[in-house]
Amino acid sequence: MILDDYQDVALGYADWSRLRGVEPWALNHHLPGPDWVRQGGTVADAEILVVMRERTPVTVALLDRLPRLRLVVTSGMRNASIDLDACAARGITVCGTSSSPTPPVELTWALILGLARNLVPEASGLRAGARWQSTVGTDLAGATLGVLGLGNIGTRVAAVGLAFGMRVVAWSPYLTDARAALAGVRRVSKDELFAGSDVLTVHLVLAPTTRGIVDAAAIDAMKETALFVNTARAGLVDGAALLAALDDDRIRGAGLDVFDEEPLPFDDRLRTHLRVLATPHLGYVTEGNYRRYFAEAVEDIEAWLGGTPVRLLG
C-alpha cells in the first residue's frame, strides 16, 4: 500500500510489475489519523507500506491497526516519524531510498526570491488587473545570507548565495572554521547569525538536540528587514514566536515549506498571512526525486521478498 500519493503518480513512476505476487495500491488522499485506517479499505490488510517522508507517521497507534504489516519503505534514508523501535518489536523491517539534495535547494531559492521581489502580491495584482507595480524589491547582491546548518543542502544553498554576490555566513552546533572555509563562507556564532543576516535559511536535521533551536530569543534578535526561510523541518522553529514576530512587523517575511501539522489545517493563519510565502512541503517533490524514490521502493520490496533486504533503517 502506497500512502499519501497526493499527485497520483506513484504507480507510473516505477515498474511495480516486477513484484510477483504483490498487488500495489495507492491512496492519493491523506489519512488524518490511525482511526481512519479502517476507512481506507485495503490499508488495514497491508503487509507492505510505502510512505513518503513524514506525511503519515508510522506510530504505535498505527501499527496496532495493521496486524499483517511486515515491511515499511520510506523515501529517503531518514524518517523521524517512523517508530523504529516499535517496528523492530513487531518484526517489521524498515527500508529507505536515496534522495537528491538539489530539489530542496532549488525550492529554498524560489522562496527567497519570491519574498525578496514580492512575486506573489505583484503577480496576483497583475492577474487581478490591480495597480501596476505596488512594491519595491529587496537587493540580494551585497546582502548577508545566514545559513543555519551547513550540511549537504546548506552548502549548496550557500553556493547559490555566493553566486548572487551575497556575503554568506553560517552556524550549526558542530560547524568548524575549516568546514565553513571549504564552502567559501564564514563561521559565526549563533547570535551573530540571527542578528546579522538579511536572509536566514534553515537546513538542520531535526533531532532532540536541534528541536526548537530557532527559539524566541533567536527570532527577536533578527533585523526588522530580515527574511526567514525554512524548508527543513517545522520542529526546528518555535512557531508561535515566529508568528508573533510576523504579526508585530519584527521581521519582514517568512518563506515556509514545512509545518507542525501537515497538511496545514484550512483555518491556519499561515495560509493567509500577508508576510508569509507558504508552499505545501514541496522541497523534495520533483519528477527526478519521485522516479528515484519509487524505483528504489520497488528494489527494496524485491530484495525483502528475496530474503536480503537493502537500505535498512534502524
- With vertex at residue 5, the alpha carbon angle to CA 44 and CA 308, rounded to the nearest 5 degrees, is 65
23 is catalytic: no
Chain centroid offset of residue 49 CA: 21
Burial class of residue 66 in the structure, from the number of CB atoms within 10 Å of its CB (0-12 exposed, 13-18 middle, 19+ buried): buried
The alpha-helical segments, DSSP class H, found in the chain are: 60-63, 84-89, 102-116, 119-128, 152-163, 177-182, 190-196, 216-220, 239-247, 287-305
Cell of 96: 529507505
Catalytic residue among 233, 252, 292, 296: 233
CA distance 274 to 164: 26
Q: Among residues 6, 160, 97, which one has the least CA distance to residue 295? A: 97
Residue 262 falls in the annotated catalytic set:
yes
Q: Is the dihedral of CA 97, 102, 108, 111 positive or negative?
A: negative
Cβ neighbours for 8, distance < 8 A, ≥ 6 positions apart: 26, 28
CA distance 248 to 251: 8
Give me the residues paired with residue 146 across strands: 169, 200
- Residue of 55, 252, 281, 292 marked active site: 281
CA dihedral 155, 160, 161, 164 (to 10 degrees): 160
Q: What is the DSSP letter of 14?
A: S
Residue 204 is given by DSSP the state P
- Among the listed residues 106, 192, 262, 299, the single catalytic one is 262
Examine the residue annotation and report whether 233 is marked as an active-site residue of this protein.
yes
Question: Catalytic amino acids?
Answer: 233, 262, 281
